[in-house]
């Protein structure tokens, strides 16, 4: 177990396996920008990622989530899931845009993936296509979710990034639709990740507003956090016991409990979603360092950590000087 300067224990690891994506979501990778992606040689191989994870488990890592860019663009991702499933982890999960999920769900499950989160921000083809910057039918993503349920990925969750004036009018419909499918929805406040997505406070539809809206139509009761550092505020529908969650990183920051380390596809360690950069561990892994050397590196990074951007955001906005931040598709959420 290791603690940072604010006493927060390392617990979760989020691994981005690629910075490429087949979507161009307006809130993450807006169209019209020039993007540079890592070359193949720059990416950590699956063996290198597995070496890293094996090394850091004794430091307290219990949960690993694979993300991207779009993680299902990384060929044979199931091989990485297979490597990780042999390690003593409590949880291996994946966040995906769902485009390739119908064809990949079974092989991922068979490789050892436990659960999955699919991002879907609208039930209307026209709104969804505009939001993701590509002509994509909502039904294609729903079919992926159905396949995930069918092969036994449990639970299947859906992430909805809510943007005022864009999809806030669909919150109830989305909640109702997925309640009917037995799928847990997590409504996420639109965040100011990266530097490109045109974020402003006025465009944030707050978790409190979402909860109030849902409470007018459903009987909800709060659910206890299952561990310190859990980011979603969880509620349960009283009639069927299904959960629904809200992620309020703008209006109710949770930095005090933040216990997550992020590994980028090119081997950087980021101690905050809003970090500018972080030290790269790839050379150390490629020099065939032992696990203890990798642990020492991570210990040092974590021991120096003092990030609490979401608690400082409003003050920073007032000063008018915003730090340059890593883009969401590089860090993976
Ligand atoms: N491509 C995959 C996907 O979209 O699920 C995984 C990576 S994506 C960066 C991870 C999560 O971040 C997704 O659920 C996405 O909706 C969310 N996200 C991206 N940009 C966001 C923003 N500006 N505010 C809130 N959530 C955001
Ligand atoms: Fe791609 Fe996910 Fe970012 Fe959308 S949110 S552009 S699907 S990485
Ligand atoms: Fe953690 Fe940084 Fe988010 Fe705060 S702003 S909760 S430190 S990732």
Taking only Cα atoms into account, the Rg of the chain, rounded to an integer number of angstroms, comes to 19
Across 94-121, average pLDDT? 98
Q: State residue 230's pLDDT score.
A: 78
- Which of 257, 264, 269, 308 for mutating ligand 3's site (highest number of atoms within 8 Å of CB)? 308
Indicate the top mutation candidate among 191, 231, 307 to test ligand 3's pocket, ranked by most ligand atoms within 8 A of CB.
Answer: 307
> Separation of 1 CA from ligand 2 center, angstroms?
32
| Local confidence band at 225 (pLDDT 50, 70, 90 cut-offs) | confident
Identify the band that residue 320 occupies on the pLDDT scale cut at 50, 70 and 90.
confident
Residue appearing with tokens 């224990």: 9
Range of the domain at 291: 12-331
Q: Which atom of ligand 1 lies nearest, measured to the CA of 21? A: 1
Q: What angle do CA 75, 26, 324 make, to 5 degrees?
A: 90
Pocket lining: 190 vs ligand 2, CB cutoff 6 Å: no
Torsion of CA 282, 286, 291, 296, to 10 degrees: -40
Is 4 within a domain? no
What's the gap in Å between 254 CA and the centre of ligand 3? 7
In-domain check, residue 3: no
Distance CA 68, CA 264 (A): 8
Give the C-alpha separation, 179 to 244, whole Å: 9
- Residue 195 inside a domain? The answer is yes
Ligand 3 mean position, distance from CA 249 (Å):
8
Instruction: Assess contact for 264 and 245: CB atoms under 8 A.
Output: no
Q: Report the candidate in 152, 140, 74 with the shortest Cα–Cα distance to residue 116.
A: 152
Does 323 score more than 90 pLDDT?
Answer: no
**How does pLDDT run across 142-171, given as a tens digit for each residue?**
999 999 999 999 899 999 999 999 999 999
Residue 97 CA to ligand 1 center (angstroms) comes to: 8
Q: Ligand 2 in contact with 101 (CB < 6 A)? A: no
The reply to whether 32 falls in a domain is: yes
In terms of Cβ atoms closer than 10 Å to its own Cβ (0-12, 13-18, 19+), residue 113 is: buried
| The pLDDT of residue 110 is above 90 | yes
Mean pLDDT along residues 52-61: 98
Which pLDDT score, from 0 to 100, does residue 53 have?
98
* Ligand 1 site, CB within 6 A: 21, 27-28, 67-68, 70, 95-97, 119, 159, 161, 188, 190-191, 193, 197, 328-329, 332-333
Q: How many domains does the chain have?
A: 1
The pLDDT assigned to 49 comes to 98
User: Does 23 contact ligand 2 (Cβ within 6 A)?
Assistant: yes
Per the domain annotation, does 249 fall within a domain? yes
In this predicted structure, which of 37-41, 225-229, 255-259 has the lowest mean pLDDT? 225-229
Phi, psi angle pair for 299, to nearest 5°:
-55, -45
Q: 91: part of which helix (H) or strand (E)?
A: strand 91-96
Instruction: Give the per-residue SS3 of 232-257.
Output: CEEEEECCCCCEEEEECCCCCCCHHH
Instruction: Report the separation in Å between the CA atom of 1 and the middle of ligand 3, taken as the mean of its atom positions.
Output: 19
Helix, strand, coil % over all residues of the chain, rounded to 5:
40, 20, 45
Ligand 2 pocket mutation pick from 14, 18, 68 by most atoms within 8 angstroms of CB: 68
In a domain, 5, yes or no: no
In this predicted structure, the answer to whether residue 227 has a pLDDT above a threshold of 80 is no
Least confident range from 73-82, 178-187, 229-238, 263-272: namely: 229-238
| CA 216–ligand 3 middle distance (angstroms) | 31
| Structural domain includes residue 212 | yes
- Binding site membership of 147 for ligand 2 (Cβ less than 6 Å): no
What is the pLDDT at residue 157? 98
The per-residue pLDDT for 288 is 87
Nearest C-alpha to atom 27 of ligand 1 is from which residue?
161
29 lines ligand 2 (CB under 6 A): yes
Supply the pLDDT for residue 228: 74
156/137 Cα distance (integer angstroms)? 20
Beta strand spans in 28-67 (E): 63-67
Give the CATH number of the domain where residue 312 resides: 3.20.20.70
The residue-averaged pLDDT of 72-85 equals: 98
Give the pLDDT score at 201: 94
1, with CB counted inside 10 A (0-12, 13-18, 19+), is exposed
Q: Which ligand has an atom closest to residue 194 CA?
A: 1
Average model confidence (pLDDT) across the chain: 96
How far does the centroid of ligand 1 lie from the alpha carbon of residue 16, in Å? Answer: 12
pLDDT tens string 186-212: 999 999 999 999 899 999 999 999 999
Interval between CA 292 and ligand 1 midpoint (Å) = 33
3-class DSSP state of 223? coil
- Per-residue confidence (pLDDT) for residue 1, from 0 to 100: 86
Distances (CA, A) of 134 to 15, 30, 51, 142: 25, 11, 36, 16
């Amino acid at each position: 177990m290791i603690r940072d300067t604010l006493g927060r224990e390392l617990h979760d690891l989020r691994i981005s396996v690629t910075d490429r994506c087949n979507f161009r979501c307006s809130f993450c990778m807006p169209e019209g920008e020039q993007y540079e992606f890592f070359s193949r040689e720059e990416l950590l191989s699956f063996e290198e990622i597995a070496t890293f994870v094996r090394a850091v488990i004794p430091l307290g890592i219990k949960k690993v989530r694979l993300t991207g860019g779009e993680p299902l663009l990384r060929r044979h991702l199931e091989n990485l899931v297979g490597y990780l499933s042999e390690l003593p982890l409590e949880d291996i999960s994946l966040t995906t845009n769902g485009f390739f999920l119908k064809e990949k769900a079974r092989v991922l499950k068979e490789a050892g993936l436990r659960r999955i989160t699919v991002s879907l921000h609208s039930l209307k083809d026209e709104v969804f296509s505009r939001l993701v910057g590509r002509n994509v039918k909502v039904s294609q993503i729903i079919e992926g979710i159905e396949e995930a349920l069918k092969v036994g990925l449990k639970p299947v969750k859906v992430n909805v990034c809510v943007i005022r004036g864009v999809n806030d009018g669909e919150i109830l419909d989305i909640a109702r639709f997925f309640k009917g499918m037995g799928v847990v929805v997590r409504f996420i406040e639109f965040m100011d990740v990266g530097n490109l997505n045109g974020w402003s406070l006025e465009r944030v539809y707050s978790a409190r507003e979402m909860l109030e809206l849902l409470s007018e139509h459903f009987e909800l009761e709060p659910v206890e956090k299952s561990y310190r550092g859990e980011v979603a505020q969880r509620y349960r529908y009283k009639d069927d016991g299904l959960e629904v969650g809200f992620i309020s990183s703008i209006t109710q920051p949770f930095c005090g409990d933040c216990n997550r380390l992020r590994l980028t596809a090119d081997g950087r360690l980021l101690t905050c979603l809003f970090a500018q950069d972080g030290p790269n561990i790839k050379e150390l892994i490629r020099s065939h360092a032992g696990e203890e050397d990798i642990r020492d590196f991570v210990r040092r990074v974590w021991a120096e950590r003092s990030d609490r951007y979401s608690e400082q955001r409003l003050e920073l906005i007032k000063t008018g000087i915003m730090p340059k931040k890593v883009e969401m598709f590089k860090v993976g959420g």
